[in-house]
Chains A and B, each alone.
Chain A
Amino acid sequence: MESKIKSLRKKEGFFFSLDSFMGLILFVLTLAMVYGFFVSSHSLHQEFFVSEDLLNIFTNIKIDDLDLTNKYQTIDSQVWDGKIKDSSLLLIEGISILNDQNNQDAVDFFNDLVYNNPVAKTGLVPVQYDIDVIISDSSLLGADSQNARSILARQRLISKPVTTTTTI
Chain B
Amino acid sequence: MTCLIEKKGQFWYLDLLIALFVILIVAVLFARSIVDIVDREKEIKVLLSEGIDISNSLMSKGLWAEFPSNLEWCKQSYGRIGFVQNSKIINNNFNAFKTLVNTPFDPGNPSSGCQNPGGGSNVDGYKKSKILLGANVDYIIYMQDKDGNIIGEEYYGKQLTPQPIPVTIGNILSAIDADNRINIFRYVYYDEDGDGKGEIIRMGISVWKAK
| A residues neighboring B (CB under 8 Å) | 1, 5, 8-9, 12, 16, 19-20, 23-24, 27, 30-31, 34-35, 38, 43, 45-46, 49-50, 53-54, 56-57, 60-61, 65-68, 71-72, 113-116, 122-124, 126
Please state if A1 and B3 are interface contacts (CB–CB under 8 Å). yes
Chain B neighbourhood of A5, CB < 8 A: 6
Please state if A67 and B197 are interface contacts (CB–CB under 8 Å). yes
Please state if B198 and A60 are interface contacts (CB–CB under 8 Å). no
Tally A-B pairs: CB < 8 A.
Answer: 102
Question: For the side of the interface on B, what is the size category?
Answer: 35 or more
Interface residues of B in 1-22 (CB under 8 A from A): 2-3, 6-7, 9-10, 12, 15, 18-19, 22
Select from chain A the residue with minimum beta-carbon distance to B6: A5
Query: B77-95 toward A: CB 8 Å interface, digit per residue (1/0)?
Result: 0000000001110000000
Chain A CB within 8 A of B137 CB: no
Bound-state Cα–Cα, A90 to B148, Å: 25
Please state if B48 and A43 are interface contacts (CB–CB under 8 Å). yes
A-B residue pairs in contact (CB < 8 Å), sample of 5: A20-B22, A27-B30, A60-B88, A61-B88, A72-B199
Please state if A66 and B15 are interface contacts (CB–CB under 8 Å). no
Bound-state Cα–Cα, A46 to B200, Å: 17
Please state if A60 and B3 are interface contacts (CB–CB under 8 Å). no
Q: What would 20 more interface pairs be, CB under 8 Å, given A12-B10, A53-B186?
A: A8-B10, A16-B19, A27-B26, A34-B34, A45-B48, A45-B52, A50-B187, A57-B187, A57-B188, A60-B189, A61-B87, A65-B189, A65-B191, A66-B199, A67-B197, A67-B199, A72-B199, A113-B200, A114-B146, A122-B148
Please state if B30 and A30 are interface contacts (CB–CB under 8 Å). yes
Bound-state Cα–Cα, A126 to B15, Å: 56
Please state if B2 and A1 are interface contacts (CB–CB under 8 Å). yes
A36 → chain B, closest Cβ, in Å? 10
Chain A CB within 8 A of B184 CB: yes
Known: A43-B48, A116-B147. A66 touches B198 (CB 8 A): yes
Chain A neighbourhood of B7, CB < 8 A: 8
Chain A CB within 8 A of B23 CB: yes
Chain B neighbourhood of A115, CB < 8 A: 146
Bound-state Cα–Cα, A110 to B131, Å: 39
